[in-house]
Amino acid sequence: MSQTGAPPAPLLTRHSWVGGHEVEGRAGHRTVESPSDGRAFARTSLLDVEQAGDALGVALGAFPAWNGAGVRRRVRALQRLRQALVGEADEIARLVEREQGKPFAEVHAAEILPSLEALKHLAGHAEDLLREDPVEGQMLLLAHKEARLVYEPYGVVLAITPWNYPFGIPLPIVAAALVAGNTVVLKPAPSTTLIGLRIGELARRAGFPEGVVNVIAVDDTVAAALVEDPRVAKIVFTGSVATGKRVMGAAAKNLTPVLLELGGKDPAIVCRDADLERSARGIVWGAFMNAGQTCASVERVYVERPVAEPFLARVVEETRLLRLGGADGRPSDVGPLSLERQRKVVEGHVADARERGARVLTGGEASPGPGFFYPPTVLTEVDHTMAVMREETFGPLLPIMVVDSVDEAIRLANDSDYGLTASGWTQSRETARRLQRELRAGVVTINDAISSFGEPTAPWGGVKQSGVGRTHGRIGLREMVQPKYVSLDRSRGPELWWYPYDEAYGRLLSQANPALHARAPWRRLFNLIRLTTHRRLWRRLGLRRLLLNVDKLF
């Protein structure tokens, strides 16, 4: 035990995982601080540009063997990874609680359990989803060919992931890339690098071959160089719109395909026939879980006027019951913001709203003492002139606007640069279908919010400036492969369309167009009969093949 005045114990240092081994970085160290109290408890060594490039090289070198291993072997590796996660779930949850700030129970609910479900789903369905698809041709003149779609991996996938869900976002992305046959270089967010490095450690324990899973601790300038590296075959980025645009611009240098999951300003519409008790509890959770640091957080509410007053009362009552707390072992519902700069964004949005006439119903002042805490805050009398209704807050703010109709609510909900998720709260099936149809978002849920992120079959992603592409589910897995159309011709002799272009060939094609596409059936039949006089056609198709494909004439 250290004595008073003795120097502090040295911080535990963690290193990147490259080629299945820990590699100490040569570019200095970064201190890891807990958002609950601001204290440093560990540090990471940072790779320099050359070392980070080596990680790409290792991943590229491991790709042929990993792709050649086949889906079944890759599935078995995911199953081992899943079991390793089950065994270390509590330890990982404590690390997330300490490094990122969300409560222990919420880590399990929002990060560990969805990751386990994603691993289970991928292991159970990847072989079917990646199986070759036979393609039946439509064109009569190509009917003799056999064709199929083959799904091939890209190569090295660079995954750049955020700090708000430092385990639950990267692990399903990495798993989908791996089971599809890619190798991965994961670059976690600077403030939650320890959690990202833990994924590399899990992969090592699960027995992934060297170089297949690499996790690197680097600063942002090095990350920018990786985005422009031609060895990267695909980039998956989760983060802010501004950074996403920079990633897309840099990727354009090599035409590297990108998948972008960006921000949100997700609306909730509370209809006059809603179950107000359920609506209030669901929206309070959707707004304040993870201290509001969720791209799918409920960040603005439109409530119909006839139920506005009782709804507001219930929301305030539920919000005041929430307990703030950090990684000290005491029960809590809402943790600190992960970054001090994020708390300043929240303070700025509250100040702007107050200046423009908004009323604070509860909260509204930063919590005193250490850590980056801000109490769950409910605002009313808000409108679209305020930043809190237009810009992503990413914090524990819930602005509620009273509207006169569902029409007005839908119009205002769609009046945004974002389109990630939206929720509707109603007991009417007809209204629910209307909200699902008319709200412009990648995900629309009725009488719940955010929860589809935990469903492994549900694709995740948005429209407008909320992103490009999808993660999760069948569509997310297909994002990790490139479809290749392949065909096989077993026939002999020249094809119908090969040289020479003689006069008879010209007449054949001239008659083929109306035979296949004329609107009038009699005209198609007349030209089809004319086609049968061409020796070149019979030599290629023959009567048997023509009869087998007669459906293509109609």
Share of the chain above pLDDT 70, in %: 96
Percentage of the chain beyond pLDDT 90 is 82
Pair 293, 395: CB distance under 8 Å: yes
State the chain's mean pLDDT as an integer.
94
Q: Where are the alpha helices (DSSP H) in 137-228?
A: 170-179, 193-205, 220-227
CB 370 within 8 A of CB 37: yes
Q: What is the pLDDT of residues 529-541, one digit of tens each?
A: 887 788 777 777 6
Range 513-526 burial, b when 16+ CB lie within 10 A, else e: ebbbeeeeeeebee
Which helix (H) or strand (E) segment holds residue 277: the answer is helix 276-288
261 is catalytic: yes
Residue 271 appears among annotated catalytic residues: no
**Segments making up each domain of the chain, as ranges:** 52-263+477-483, 266-417+421-455, 503-553
pLDDT beyond 70 at 551:
no
CATH architecture of the domain covering 266-417+421-455:
3-Layer(aba) Sandwich (3.40)
- State how far the Cα of 241 lies from the Cα of 249, in Å rounded to an integer: 12
- Of 286, 279, 236, 234, give the one whose Cα is nearest residue 261: 236
Whether the pLDDT of residue 330 is over 60: the answer is yes
Q: What is the tens place of the pLDDT at every residue in 139-179?
A: 777 777 889 999 999 999 999 999 999 999 999 999 999 99
Q: Is-contact 212 37, C-beta < 8 A?
A: no
What's the mean pLDDT in 209-238? 96
- 477 in Cβ contact with 142 (< 8 Å): no
pLDDT tier at 50, thresholds 50, 70, 90: very high
Residue range 65-87, pLDDT digits in tens: 999 999 999 999 999 999 999 99
pLDDT of 212 reads: 98
> Which H or E element spans position 18?
strand 16-18
pLDDT tens string 125-141? 999 999 999 998 877 77
The string of pLDDT tens digits covering residues 516-529 is 888 888 888 888 78
Res 522: pLDDT: 84
Say how far residue 216 (Cα) sits from the centre of its chain. Answer: 20
* Residue type present at position 418: Y
The angle that helices 276-288 and 308-320 make with each other, rounded to 10 degrees, is: 50
In a 10 Å sphere around its CB, with 0-12 CB exposed, 13-18 middle and 19+ buried, how is residue 136 labelled? exposed
Above 80 in pLDDT, residue 547? no
132 touches 483 (CB < 8 A): no
pLDDT tens for each residue of 375-426 = 999 999 999 999 999 999 999 999 999 999 999 999 999 999 999 999 999 9
Sheet holding 12-14, edge to edge: 12-14, 40-45, 29-33
Q: Which residues pair with 12 in a beta bridge?
A: 42
pLDDT at 2 over 60: no
HSE value, Cβ hemisphere, 13 Å, CA-based, for 501 = 3
Q: Which residue has the higher pLDDT, 298 or 552?
A: 298
pTM here? 0.94
Of the listed 33, 97, 106, 261, which one is catalytic?
261
Which pLDDT score, from 0 to 100, does residue 262 have?
97
CB 280 within 8 A of CB 258: no
Q: What is the CATH number of domain 52-263+477-483?
A: 3.40.605.10
Return the pLDDT at 1: 41
From 97, 295, 318, 391, the catalytic residue: 295
| Rounded mean pLDDT, 97-120 | 98
Place of tokens 């930063």: 366
397-403: strand order across its sheet: 359-362, 377-380, 397-403, 298-304, 266-270, 421-425, 443-446
d(CA 270, CA 283) in angstroms, rounded, equals 10
**For residue range 447-460, what is the model confidence (pLDDT) as tens digits?**
999 999 999 999 99
Cα separation, 417 vs 432, whole angstroms: 23
Task: Please say whether the dihedral angle defined by the alpha carbons of residues 456, 97, 400 and 318, taken in this order, is positive or negative.
Answer: positive
- Do you know the residue count of the chain? 554
